[in-house]
Amino acid sequence: LEEAAFQLQQIFRIDISIALNILGIESMRAGHCQVAFTCFKLAADRGYSKAQFNVGLCYEHGRGTEKDLEKAGFYYCQAASSRHPMAQYRYARYLLQHGPGSLQDRHHKAVALLEQAAGAGNTEAQAYLGVFYMRGLQPQEKRGLKYLLQAANSGDAQSRYHVGVCYEQGLGVQQNLAEALRHYQRSAAAGNRQARERLRA
């Protein structure tokens, strides 16, 4: 009986958090940012990762509350610990730009989070890692190309352009101008300005 009561409490807690988060999203859409923030915060403080991510966004952009990057980082971290892919991406970016601790520790943790988010199919993390590995102090071109291709195949036109550059210059792959042209054309067709300029050149 105690176990059943505990399970009911858990279900009730989760359902309330989901309802508060949905109410927050609807309030934000209606332009009631302070109400939205209050709803997100109530659900986030109950441990609901989607709401924690939304609170992070509110703090990062100053919507419904004052802008506070440290608090944004805290809530992104909370959501990331529940394996929320977009929170992992946002928290990794926070660590690389503002986070506490040594640069080496932050860098290591951020890359691990980006890898997890990319593995979960997060296009932003895939694109970021692709460029990160291409442009790092010790470039890992094949690894970078792998992530760029993942992001491009998820519809990211900028990553598709970078894949074209890889084929044109032989970065992480054998140089192939016909393949480069194909990627530039697909990127340009998706509206990428750099790809259009490269095609004209």
121-200 maps to which CATH number? 1.25.40.10
Residues 171-191 as b or e (16 or more Cβ within 10 Å = b): bbbeeeeebbeebbbbbbeee
Structure tokens of 71? 């608090």
pTM for this structure? Answer: 0.83
Q: What is residue 176's DSSP assignment?
A: -
Query: Domain ranges in the chain?
Result: 1-120, 121-200
- Under 8 Å between Cβ of 92 and 78: no
pLDDT at residue 11 in the model = 56
Q: For domain 1-120, which CATH number applies: 1.10.357.10, 2.40.50.100, 3.40.1500.10, 1.25.40.10?
A: 1.25.40.10
Task: Report residues of the chain scoring pLDDT below 70.
Answer: 1-14, 137
Report pLDDT digits (tens) over 42-57: 999 999 999 999 999 9
